[in-house]
Amino acid sequence: MSPILLPNIMINSNLILEIVERGIAGSSIFLVDILVKPTGLVQVFIDSDTGVSVEDCAKLSRYIHSNLEGKENDFELQVSSPGLTSPFKVMQQYRKNIGREIEIVLTDGSKQKARLEQVNDDNIEIAYNSKVNNKNNSGADKSQVITKKIIDLKEVKSTKTILSFK
């Protein structure tokens, strides 16, 4: 999608937020992030449980444009989805990805690849394969078991979907 140059608009993220919220009200689309850069670039990232089409982005872009006419300063507007490998920013992204493989980085720097099992407002539950020692008469034997773990969202530095081409 080509960017739209808007004439003379004094832009701030709160103004864009208000317009975007009105523009997506009543739809399945949710706001992921708004970035307003000093260069005048305004990026709006949206998503939905079923994905976002080019037409969804174009429609919201036109809506934002029509609600900013007559303001001050130039800027460039881009409306898109955040991308498959972008870190999650909002809770709806966690909910959308239940059952999918994710990579989670914790605030202590540790990483875990796992399947996202459950999500609530304070934590997430993940499941991953781990090896355990099974001691029997023939000595130590390792087998894999599925381990589930609940992680407080305050401990999460970043989470993103792992792409699989299986």
Would you write out the chain's pLDDT as a tens digit for each of its 166 residues? 444 444 444 567 898 999 999 999 999 999 999 999 888 899 999 999 999 999 999 999 999 989 887 665 677 899 999 988 899 999 999 999 999 999 999 999 999 999 999 999 999 999 998 887 766 655 556 788 899 999 999 999 999 999 877 6
Q: How far apart are CA 163 and CA 150, in angstroms?
A: 23
Q: How far apart are CA 34 and CA 31, in angstroms?
A: 8
Indicate the SS3 state at residue 100: coil
- Residue-level pLDDT at 6: 42
Q: How many CB atoms lie within 10 A of CB 141?
A: 10
- Residue-level pLDDT at 7: 42
- Residue-level pLDDT at 88: 96
Q: How far apart are CA 43 and CA 17, in angstroms?
A: 11
Q: What are the φ and ψ backbone dihedral angles of 52, each rounded to 5 degrees? A: -120, 130
Single-letter residue type at 155: E
Domain 4-80 = CATH 3.30.300.70 = yes
3-state secondary structure 130-156: EEEEEEECCEEEEEEEEEEEEEEHHHE
- Residue-level pLDDT at 163: 87
Q: How far apart are CA 133 and CA 89, in angstroms?
A: 38
CATH class of the domain whose range is 91-161 = mainly beta
Domain limits, the chain: 4-80, 91-161
- Which alpha helices (DSSP H) does 35-157 contain, by range? 54-68, 91-96
- Residue-level pLDDT at 130: 85
